Structures are given as C-alpha cells and as structure tokens.
C-alpha cells in the first residue's frame, strides 16, 4: 500500500502519530533535544487526556521558538512550518491535512539535506516527492528512501496495533532523528 493510501485510511491516533513522527525526525533542524516531543507522544497513549495535546504543543512551540528567523535554511523552514501548523487537538479534518503536509515536508527536507543534492534547490521540488508517496520509487536517494520507509512503518504500526504501536513508532522515529542529526552535523562541518 502506498503512503498516500495509508494516510487516507489512518485513524486519528495514526494521523497524529504519523505527523508527530515526521516532526520528531526533523527536530535537529529546530534545535530540539531527544526529549522535546516525548510529552506529545505520551498524550497519544491509551487513556491519556486528549486535551493535554494542545497545552503540550504550546510548550513545545515556546521551547523551539529561539532559532526562528531569516537565517534559517529551507530545510529548517519546512520543519518549523510542520510545528507551526500542528493542530491544537489531535482530531478532526485538520489532523489529516497536517499529517499529509508533514509527510511531504519531511521527504522534501530529506531531499534537501541529501549529500548528493544539487545546491540550487531543484532537488526539493514537490513532483518527485509526490510520486514517491504514491509508490513510484525509482530515482530515490538512500536518505529519502529510508524516510519513506519510516513513514510507512509508523502508519502500519499504528494501523495494526493501535495505541500499542506508539512505542515501536517512537523507536522508528528516534532512529530517523539520529540519522538526520548526523547528516546535519556533517553538513555543518562541510561548510565550516
């Protein structure tokens, strides 16, 4: 099943976890540490008060607002938009749109940060990303292919296991965050 199909069939918890996982993997671009989004993950657990999501989200936005500004590169701007666009409640129509937008943004970020990417920014255009999300995977770089696999895995875990899929989904996301942090670090050293 393609990523687009998985998103269209996901329930609210799956959508919230899918969007949150994309944001979590891109957290190094916003200066967040490994624990920054953990409370949001906890708010999706079985029995958690769904009303806590909005309060925690505002705390996360406040914590990550320090790096905002004109100095951010395109990848960081895409990550910041994911955070800014997060819905105040992990439910409703806006949630599906946010999860879908996070999926696209995260794949574009991985294309922009790919070591083999062109410096003119043409690598980050939407058309190939949309094709990959629909199942056409030829021409994908290893970094983008791995991100696509992680997005699919997170949605499958939540679809198959419900709330019990949150922990393994977080583990998938943590692995992706570590990889992106290493890419960002190598890139910064290359510029310095």
Domain hosting residue 16, numbered range = 3-191
pTM summary value: 0.90
Structure tokens belonging to residue 129: 């990303």
Name the domain count of the chain.
1
Question: DSSP secondary structure string, 86-154?
Answer: --SSS-SHHHHHHHHHHHHHHHHHHHHH-TT--TTSGGG-HHHHHHHHTT--TT--HHHHHHHHHHHHH
Q: Spell out the per-residue pLDDT of the chain, length 192, in tens.
A: 899 999 999 999 999 999 999 999 999 999 989 999 999 999 999 999 878 999 999 999 999 986 655 567 899 999 999 999 999 999 888 999 999 999 999 999 999 998 765 544 444 444 567 777 887 777 788 899 999 999 999 999 999 999 999 999 999 999 999 999 999 888 888 765
In tens, the pLDDT along 7-19 reads 999 999 999 999 9
In 3D space, the residue among 134, 122, 149 whose CA is nearest the CA of residue 21 turns out to be 149
């Amino acid at each position: 099943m393609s990523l687009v199909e998985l998103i269209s069939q996901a329930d609210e918890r799956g959508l919230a976890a899918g969007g949150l996982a994309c944001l979590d993997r891109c957290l190094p671009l916003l200066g967040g540490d490994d624990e920054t989004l953990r409370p949001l993950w906890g708010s999706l657990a079985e029995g958690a008060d769904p009303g806590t999501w909005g309060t925690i989200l505002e705390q996360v936005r406040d914590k990550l607002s320090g790096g905002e500004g004109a100095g951010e590169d395109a990848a960081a701007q895409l990550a910041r938009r994911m955070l800014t666009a997060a819905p105040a409640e992990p439910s409703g129509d806006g949630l599906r749109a946010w999860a879908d937008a996070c999926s696209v943004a995260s794949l574009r970020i991985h294309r922009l940060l790919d070591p083999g990417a062109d410096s003119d920014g043409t690598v980050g255009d939407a058309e190939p990303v949309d094709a990959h999300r629909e199942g056409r995977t030829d021409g994908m770089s290893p970094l983008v292919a791995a991100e696509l696999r992680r997005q699919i895995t997170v949605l499958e875990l939540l679809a198959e296991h419900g709330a019990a899929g949150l922990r393994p989904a977080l583990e998938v996301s943590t692995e992706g965050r570590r990889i992106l942090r290493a890419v960002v670090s190598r890139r910064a050293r290359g510029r310095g």
